[in-house]
Amino acid sequence: MSYTQDEGTHMKSTVETWKGLIPGDIVTVTEAPGSYKFINATINAETGETLWVTVIGGRKGRSLTRMFTEERIVLPKEKALQKQRSNRGIATEGEGQ
């Protein structure tokens, strides 16, 4: 986690895990065609409010890093998330224990 301070008085924190996501997890972004992978989220360190979510992806053949508000990020269902991680060789909770 890293902290920065904007021009105002708000401390911002960048986190690599957010709402159960880790970097590389596939998410859907409303009103943004294409495929996207979660990178990180930036939150207000004082209030815990999500300021934006950073993803990489886009339409086929394009790979752009973009930031969206939390409301535009559609989280994958747990079963789909487990399958994604399994395909990437990442153990999920309860596996391999």
Give a yes or no: residue 90 inside a domain: no
| pTM check: above 0.85 | no
Q: Residue 66 half-sphere exposure, CB side, CA atoms within 13 Å?
A: 21
Give a yes or no: residue 94 inside a domain: no
Residues 6+ away with beta carbon under 8 Å from 22: 16, 38, 85, 90
Output the tens digit of pLDDT for each of the chain's 97 residues.
555 555 555 688 999 999 999 999 999 999 999 999 999 999 998 899 999 999 999 999 889 999 999 999 999 999 999 999 999 998 766 544 3
Residues 6+ away with beta carbon under 8 Å from 17: none
Give a yes or no: residue 87 inside a domain: no
Give a yes or no: residue 88 inside a domain: no
Count how many domains the chain has.
Answer: 1
CB–CB of 43/15 below 8 Å? yes
Give a yes or no: residue 65 inside a domain: yes
pLDDT at 20: 93
Give a yes or no: residue 68 inside a domain: yes
Its domain, for residue 41, covers: 2-74
